């Protein structure tokens, strides 16, 4: 009897110690949770609705130009007007500025002066792809081809034997610019780059992955029906040009003033039996651009002016007139400041920017390139990156503790699922974003975005929870005081 009592007391004491330890562990240890263990039924419903709209955005926005067109269409429906220099604006007014059809900036005017700074979301809507060369058309062995020049970081072996569509514009000899879109609709033809058959691929198969498909072999098959008789020269090229001329009025010289992009054909699709993923071309970085767009549309009465910029050219270093380095941003925000008699430099000095760009999601199939303790995981929410760059943080903006702390608090206060991440192992490689170009403007900036599987592949994969949490982050950023 006594023995039983003793055991009972010991068990009770042990239980108490255990619960104290649990309490302490709860308080002191950091344990990120899978989003599915935290998501409410109401939020799941909102997430699914958001992701349906996001898929539409992807399907409309297969190129940076198409993204701008669709942003303008959506913004107009939400009461945004085209901004013109010197426009008189009041709190609550909504404007957008289309930068040459390739980049766009949107603003919702806050109730506070621009001298107090603005809340910025910066993303990019260009994605890796194959551009046509200035003189793309040739024929060989009675087949017609387009030569391509890849844009951004592509793994060339991924771009062969997949259906391709062509999108872009051609400025004709008479100065008119005409759109070209072919390969997305069911009834339209598509294009393809061919690969070697395995039966004859013994030598090719021995080459390193990055050398097996050289850039100059990324030639798109576009036709084989000749125009003219057996003895005519260039009759396969001519066969293609005849069709292009009939359809668009194009001559061969017109390719020189064209921007034609070959992108993976097809639409965004739910992926997995449970539909927890979306696979599509161009998540990088349309997944963050759309989060910003929906965030600025839904932001309720921002005190500080909210500004979104979707830059072009990020994938090739943010250069060019439509890239983030371009002073188009100064022109737009500067003109808003002029209207309030504010110095642009004062505005920038007090501003806050989320450089919303994708990060690498931990992939167990390639575990050796990740630091598992510092990776972004699927379904754990928006991935914050203090720094990007490569090696010893080379080329990184490296947000300060205070800036990271500010965003962390904002996300916790707004119940946004988030995680902290590095791209991969320190010396495995690296990457950059527009963050450093915003920081150069004297703007506090931090990277945060959706973790992506197979980044830069013709089809990339993201988790719906992470897309939705990035939207929730951007809405909170635009609404913050």
Q: Which residues sit at the interface with Mn ion, rule CB under 5 A?
A: 284-285, 357
Helical spans, DSSP H, in 216-309:
235-248, 283-298
Is residue 164 a contact partner of residue 474, using CB atoms and an 8 Å limit? no
Kindly state the smallest distance separating residue 404's Cβ from Mn ion, in Å: 20
- Name the residue number minimizing CB distance to Mn ion: 285
Distance CA 152, CA 319 (A): 12
Antiparallel, parallel or unpaired: β 94-99 and 81-82: parallel
Is the CB of 304 or the CB of 313 nearer to Mn ion?
313
Alpha-carbon distances, residue 192 vs 127, 159, 265, 323, 393 (angstroms): 19, 9, 10, 30, 39
Nearer to Mn ion, 249 or 430 (CB): 430
CB of 450 to Mn ion, least distance (A): 10
Q: From the CB of 56, what's the least distance to Mn ion, in Å?
A: 21
Q: How far is the CB of 40 from Mn ion (least distance, A)?
A: 30
Terminal C-alpha separation, the chain: 66
**CB-based contacts of 109-114 (< 8 A; 24+ apart in sequence):** 109/305, 109/336, 110/302, 110/303, 110/304, 110/305, 110/306, 111/301, 111/302, 111/303, 112/303, 112/304, 112/305, 113/340, 113/342, 114/305, 114/333, 114/336, 114/337, 114/340, 114/342, 114/347
Q: Please report how close the Cβ of residue 313 comes to Mn ion at its closest, in angstroms.
A: 11
Q: Which is nearer to Mn ion, 455 or 465 (CB)?
A: 455
Q: Cβ 124 to Mn ion, closest distance in Å?
A: 6
Handedness of CA 161, 165, 169, 173 (dihedral sign): positive
Instruction: Give the residue carrying structure tokens 């192992």.
Output: 425
Nearest to Mn ion of 347, 463 (CB atom)? 463
Q: How far is the CB of 315 from Mn ion (least distance, A)?
A: 5
Q: Which is nearer to Mn ion, 254 or 357 (CB)?
A: 357
What the block records as the tokens of 284 is 């990088």
> How far apart (Å, rounded) are the C-alpha atoms in residues 242 and 240?
5
Least separation in angstroms between residue 128's CB and Mn ion is 7
Q: How far is the CB of 357 from Mn ion (least distance, A)?
A: 4
Judge contact between 130 and 262, C-beta under 8 A: yes
CB of residue 358 vs Mn ion: minimum separation in angstroms? 5
Q: Evaluate whether 134 touches 354 at the Cβ level (below 8 Å).
A: no
Rank residues 51 and 385 by Cβ distance to Mn ion and give the closer one. Answer: 385
Smaller CB distance to Mn ion: residue 226 or 282?
282
Query: Which CB sits closer to Mn ion, 114 or 376?
Result: 376
Closest CB to Mn ion among residues 357, 444: 357
Q: Are strands 164-171 and 258-264 parallel, antiparallel or unpaired?
A: antiparallel
Exposed / middle / buried, residue 428 (Cβ in 10 Å: 0-12, 13-18, 19+) = middle
Nearer to Mn ion, 152 or 249 (CB): 152
Shortest distance (Å) from residue 276 CB to Mn ion: 22
261 vs 284, which CB is nearer to Mn ion? 284
Of 119 and 454, nearer to Mn ion (C-beta) is 454
Q: Taking the complex as a whole, how short is the minimal distance between the CB of residue 46 and Mn ion, in angstroms?
A: 25
The CA distance from 313 to 353, in Å, is 19
Phi, psi for residue 34 in degrees, rounded to 5: -60, 135
User: C-alpha distances in angstroms, 268 versus 165, 403, 449?
Assistant: 14, 34, 19
Query: Residues 192, 164: contact at Cβ < 8 Å?
Result: yes
- Estimate to the nearest angstrom the gap between the alpha carbon of 194 and the chain centroid: 28
Buried b (16+ CB within 10 A) or exposed e, 333-347: bbbbbeeeebebebb
């Amino acid at each position: 009897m006594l023995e039983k009592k003793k055991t009972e007391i010991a068990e009770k004491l042990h239980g108490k110690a255990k619960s104290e330890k649990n309490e302490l562990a709860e308080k002191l240890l950091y344990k990120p949770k899978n989003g599915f263990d935290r998501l409410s039924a109401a939020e799941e419903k909102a997430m699914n609705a958001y992701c349906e709209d996001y898929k539409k955005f992807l399907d409309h926005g297969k190129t940076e130009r198409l993204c701008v067109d669709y942003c303008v269409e959506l913004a107009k429906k939400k009461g945004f007007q085209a901004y013109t220099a010197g426009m008189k604006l009041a709190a609550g007014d909504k404007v957008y500025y289309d930068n040459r059809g390739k980049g766009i900036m949107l603003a919702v005017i806050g109730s506070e002066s621009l001298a107090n700074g603005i809340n910025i979301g910066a993303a990019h809507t260009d994605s890796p792809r194959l551009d046509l060369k200035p003189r793309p058309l040739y024929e060989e062995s009675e087949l017609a081809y387009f030569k391509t020049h890849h844009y951004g970081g592509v793994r060339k072996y991924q771009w062969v034997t997949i259906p391709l569509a062509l999108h872009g514009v051609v400025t004709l000899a008479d100065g008119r610019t005409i759109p070209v879109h072919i390969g997305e609709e069911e009834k339209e033809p598509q294009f393809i780059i061919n690969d070697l058959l395995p039966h004859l691929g013994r030598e090719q198969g021995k080459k390193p992955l990055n050398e097996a498909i050289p850039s100059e072999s990324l030639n798109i098959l576009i036709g084989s029906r000749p125009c003219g008789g057996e003895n005519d020269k260039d009759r396969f090229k001519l066969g293609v040009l005849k069709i292009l001329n009939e359809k668009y009025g194009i001559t061969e010289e017109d390719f020189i003033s064209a921007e034609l992009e070959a992108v993976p054909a097809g639409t965004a699709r739910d992926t997995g039996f449970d539909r927890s993923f979306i696979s599509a071309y161009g998540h990088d970085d349309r997944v963050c651009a759309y989060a910003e767009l929906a965030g600025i549309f839904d932001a309720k009465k921002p005190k500080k002016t909210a500004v979104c910029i979707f830059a072009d050219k990020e994938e090739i270093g943010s250069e060019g007139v439509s890239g983030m380095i371009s002073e188009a941003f100064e022109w737009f925000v500067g003109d808003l400041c002029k209207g309030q008699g504010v110095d642009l430099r004062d505005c920038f000095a007090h501003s806050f920017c989320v450089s919303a760009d994708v990060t690498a999601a931990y992939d167990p199939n390639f575990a050796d390139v990740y630091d598992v303790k510092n990776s972004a995981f699927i379904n754990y929410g928006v991935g914050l990156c203090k720094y990007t760059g490569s090696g010893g943080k080379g080329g990184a903006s490296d947000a300060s503790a205070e800036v990271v702390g500010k965003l962390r608090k904002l996300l916790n206060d707004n119940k946004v699922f988030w995680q902290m991440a590095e791209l991969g192992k320190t010396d495995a490689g690296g990457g950059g974003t527009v963050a450093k170009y915003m920081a150069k403007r004297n703007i506090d900036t931090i990277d945060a975005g959706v973790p992506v599987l197979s980044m830069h592949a013709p089809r990339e994969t993201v988790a719906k929870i992470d897309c939705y949490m990035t939207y929730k982050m951007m809405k909170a950023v635009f609404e913050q005081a």
